[in-house]
Amino acid sequence: MPVDEIQVAKQKFMAFLARKSLRITAQRQAIVDSVFGTDQHFTAEQLLEWSRARDGSVSRATVYRTLPLLTESGLVREMDFGKDHKYYDPNYAHHPNHNHIICQDCERIVEFESDKIDKLENEISRKLGFSVTSQRLQITASCEALKKSGACKNRRC
C-alpha cells in the first residue's frame, strides 16, 4: 500500500476511535502501525508479535480488543479460511472486491483480481435480478512447489 494510502487509513481509524470516544493509546498506535505497515494477511498472534516489536508493552488483550474495532471500521476484513484461527486482511478498504487462493499445504494466501470474474459476477447477478455490492471468492488449492519437489519454502512445520 502506498505511503499516502497508509496515512489515510490510519487517519480514518483514528477518527473512528474518536467517534466511539476511545482513546488512542501508545499500544493501539503500535497495533495500527503494524496493521497498516503490511500488505500480508495476518493472524491475531502475528499482529501481537509485530506490535510488540514496535512497543513491548502491547498486551494480547489490547490486540484482541482492537481487531474487532478495525473490522467494524471497515478498514480490515476478518477472513475465515477454515483454520483454527482467523486471518485479517489489511487490503480490504482499498480493494474490497479481491479474491484469495489459499494453499492447503503451506497456508500461503495469494490475493488476485480478475476482470473476467467481475464481469461474470455482474452478468449472473443481473440475470438473477441483483446488483453486486461486494463479492468474495476463495479458492483452496495445493501448492505446486510441494507437489513438484516435496518441499515448500512457505510450509510451516
* 43 in the same domain as 112: no
Per the structure, the complete domain to which residue 127 belongs is given by: 99-149
- Residue 129 belongs to a domain with what CATH number? 3.30.1490.190
In total, how many domains does the chain have? 2
* 11 in the same domain as 65: yes
> What pTM value is reported for the model?
0.73
End-to-end Cα separation, the chain, in angstroms = 30
* 16 in the same domain as 75: yes
How would you write the pLDDT of the chain (157 residues) with one tens digit per residue? 667 878 888 899 999 999 999 998 999 999 999 999 988 889 999 999 999 999 999 999 999 999 999 999 989 988 887 778 888 988 755 566 677 788 877 777 887 888 898 888 889 999 999 988 777 788 888 877 666 776 666 655 4
In a domain, 113, yes or no: yes
